[in-house]
């Protein structure tokens, strides 16, 4: 009898909690997204108090109704830490001020007299409790009957739509600025897909709140919503399901299912650590300019995250052209972009072998790590050398030789997937444009924050071609055999990506009255999630913007993931047809 009663009460509590958390989201959006009158602000603060104290009552009631209270405490320790903090906040506030909290709450407008610190503390509690619920929601969504590729696509789509709504809030825009729904969708897609193409000036058109929303979309989009949800679930000592691991494997492009939990943890930790280090160096480097300390601190954090996530968003109207002679800024950005583009499996592999001697360290590296590092190094050197040759009397003419090398190297780095620029891309010569197209098409590496068809895809394709030329019946790399299924995937990625880009360029040529070379450049930049542009992005028509939005989305998700999402699961055949040869070439 008691068991049935407790289960009924739990269901009612959970339904009420869903309503309360919806109210919490509305409350936070109202306060930080709109300009409120004092009376409306007082109402929002009342709602905050109700939300937080309902949360306390809900957790305590769930504890009372739990079958095993000790087990419930262990599995929901985070919730109880929040409850203790909320009760402590309220007790200390009343004790220190002698403030009649409940009397003022019932009395009307005097609720505004509650200190901002107290309200912010409550709002932080609301956000943390929302985080706890998002983890539970993520586990429910993953358990639904969807393929990992479909969940991945849906998660990015949800982030984009939420980001679009947030960017249209009044407080997201600078005073006197307006943003259409399409431009908000374009900006949210570009940020979530870590591209960097912009239709409005990020630093001038958006308020600091709007810029923080963009930065949050970049941070979430770089690793994926499911990665963060799983990370916090692991931090809170909650298990992640086999299906969740399968989805994370597809998202992070990592085959070893047993190491997925460790990879998720290292991925998020590495991200925050490297972004923090990058922000420190950028803060020092930006000190040589006329930026005040507060803005310099904010700028350093913004651009460190944008660089490591290979996003290319900048709050400066000219990107980093003003810093083309600043070695520390340029080299810091370059290192962040390169590390973000190597891929977390490679970074993890490098970290595991960091204490060994060089010869042993090389042996410790996997085939993927060797392939990624080798091709990345070659592309960086090739891009730098070609830029020096092609642009020595053009965009590099006003610089001395050390600065020419620095800026040529930076443009080679950023053309891979980052999108920053220290030189005017609209002025580069035609030969350099074609090299940029190649670099943007290849992009970064699997499991990274960058786009493109990936360095390993090119490596496997060349290895397959070399095996055919040598008359071999197998693919060999670094004295290891590579399965032909890997070559088949590489061919699918190349064919799908090439076909998609061809369709995009043809469609843009119909909708836009702009030079073809600029349209081709824009399409490759969007697909590779690069963000470099020859200045035509704001001039695109509505249809052109929609085409580029789809291109950025396709480029971030990847050809293989999309093909898996729209097809049925792999079939196992128990029969075979007779073989017959077909002439090619």
Per-residue pLDDT tens digits for 122-135 = 566 666 666 666 66
pLDDT above 70 as % of the chain? 77
Output the CA–CA distances (angstroms, integers) from residue 140 to 404, 446, 561, in the order listed.
Answer: 54, 28, 22
Considering only CA atoms, which of 502, 500, 507, 508 is closest in space to residue 560?
500
Span 336-372, pLDDT tens digits: 999 988 888 888 888 766 545 545 556 678 888 889 9
Alpha helical stretches, state H, 76-201: 77-97, 101-107, 116-142, 148-167, 181-192
Sign of CA dihedral 437, 441, 445, 448: positive
Considering only CA atoms, which of 373, 306, 333 is closest in space to residue 529?
306
pLDDT of residue 468: 80
Q: Where are the domains of the chain?
A: 1-142
Cα(51)–Cα(190) distance, integer angstroms = 34
Output the CA–CA distances (angstroms, integers) from residue 355 to 189, 350, 362, in the order listed.
Answer: 41, 10, 12
pLDDT of residue 486: 84
Please state whether 433 falls in left (phi above 0), alpha (psi between -120 and 50) or beta: alpha
- The mean pLDDT of the chain is 81
Phi, psi of 581 (to 5 degrees): -80, 145
Label residue 115 by pLDDT band (50, 70, 90). Answer: very low
Span 492-536, pLDDT tens digits: 889 999 999 999 999 999 999 999 999 999 999 999 999 899 989
Cα(28)–Cα(494) distance, integer angstroms = 45
Cα(161)–Cα(127) distance, integer angstroms = 20
The average pLDDT across 295-306 equals: 92
Cα(19)–Cα(259) distance, integer angstroms = 37
pLDDT of residue 144: 62
Cα(445)–Cα(371) distance, integer angstroms = 10
pLDDT of residue 140: 61
**What is the Rg, in whole angstroms, of the alpha carbon atoms belonging to the chain?**
26
CA 425 to centroid of chain Cα atoms? 25
Tokens of 173: 């825009």
Alpha helical stretches, state H, 143-238: 148-167, 181-192, 202-205, 208-223, 225-235
Cα(483)–Cα(464) distance, integer angstroms = 10
CB-based contacts of 463: which residues, under 8 Å, 6+ apart?
475, 476, 477, 482, 487
Q: Give yes or no for residue 570 having a pLDDT over 60.
A: no
CA 278 to centroid of chain Cα atoms? 17
């Amino acid at each position: 009898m008691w068991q049935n009663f407790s289960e009924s009460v739990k269901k009612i509590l959970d339904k009420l909690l869903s309503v309360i958390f919806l109210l919490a989201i509305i409350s936070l959006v109202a306060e930080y997204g709109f300009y409120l009158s004092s009376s409306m602000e007082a109402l929002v603060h009342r709602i905050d108090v109700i939300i937080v104290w309902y949360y306390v009552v809900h957790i305590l009631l769930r504890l009372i109704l739990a079958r095993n209270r000790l087990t419930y405490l262990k599995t929901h320790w985070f919730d109880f830490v929040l409850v203790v903090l909320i009760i402590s906040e309220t007790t200390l506030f009343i004790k220190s001020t002698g403030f009649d909290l409940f009397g003022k709450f019932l009395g009307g407008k005097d609720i505004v007299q509650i200190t901002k610190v107290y309200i912010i503390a409550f709002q932080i509690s609301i956000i943390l409790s929302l985080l706890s619920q998002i983890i539970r929601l993520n586990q429910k969504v993953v358990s639904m009957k969807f393929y990992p590729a479909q969940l991945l696509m849906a998660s990015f789509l949800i982030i984009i739509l939420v980001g679009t709504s947030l960017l249209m809030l009044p407080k997201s825009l600078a005073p006197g600025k307006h943003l259409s729904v399409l431009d908000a969708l374009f900006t949210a897609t570009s940020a979530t897909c870590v591209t960097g193409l912009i239709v409005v000036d990020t630093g001038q058109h958006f308020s600091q709140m709007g810029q923080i929303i963009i930065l949050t979309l970049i941070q979430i989009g770089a690793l994926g919503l499911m990665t963060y949800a799983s990370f916090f679930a692991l931090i809170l000592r909650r298990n992640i399901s086999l299906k969740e691991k399968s989805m994370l494997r597809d998202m992070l492009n990592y085959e070893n299912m047993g190491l997925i939990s460790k990879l998720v943890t290292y991925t998020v930790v590495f991200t925050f650590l490297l972004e923090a280090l990058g922000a420190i160096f950028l803060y020092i480097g930006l000190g040589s300019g006329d930026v005040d300390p507060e803005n310099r601190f904010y700028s350093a954090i913004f651009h460190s995250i944008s660089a490591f996530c290979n996003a290319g968003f900048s709050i400066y109207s000219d990107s980093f052209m003003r810093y083309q002679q600043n070695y520390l800024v340029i080299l810091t950005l370059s290192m962040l972009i390169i590390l973000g583009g190597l891929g977390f499996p490679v970074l993890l592999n490098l970290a595991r072998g960091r204490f060994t001697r060089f010869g042993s360290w090389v042996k410790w590296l996997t085939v993927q790590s060797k392939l990624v590092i080798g091709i990345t190094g070659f592309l960086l050197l090739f891009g730098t050398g070609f830029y020096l040759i092609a642009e020595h009397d053009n965009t590099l003419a006003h610089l001395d030789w050390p600065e020419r090398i620095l800026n040529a190297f930076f443009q080679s780095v950023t053309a891979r997937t980052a999108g920053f620029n220290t030189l005017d891309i609209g002025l580069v010569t035609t030969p350099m444009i074609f090299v940029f197209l190649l670099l943007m098409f290849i992009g970064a590496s699997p499991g990274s924050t960058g786009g493109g068809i990936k360095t390993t895809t090119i490596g496997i394709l060349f290895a397959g071609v070399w095996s055919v030329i040598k008359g071999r019946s197998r693919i060999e790399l670094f004295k290891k055999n590579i399965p032909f299924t890997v070559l088949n995937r590489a061919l699918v990625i190349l064919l799908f990506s090439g076909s998609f880009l061809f369709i995009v360029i043809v469609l843009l040529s119909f909708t836009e009255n702009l030079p073809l070379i600029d349209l081709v450049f824009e399409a490759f930049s969007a697909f590779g999630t690069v963000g470099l542009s020859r200045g035509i992005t704001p001039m695109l028509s509505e249809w052109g913007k929609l085409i580029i939005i789809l291109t950025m989305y396709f480029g971030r998700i990847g050809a293989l993931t999309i093909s898996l999402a729209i097809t049925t699961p792999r079939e196992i055949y128990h029969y075979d047809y007779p073989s017959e040869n077909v002439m090619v070439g």
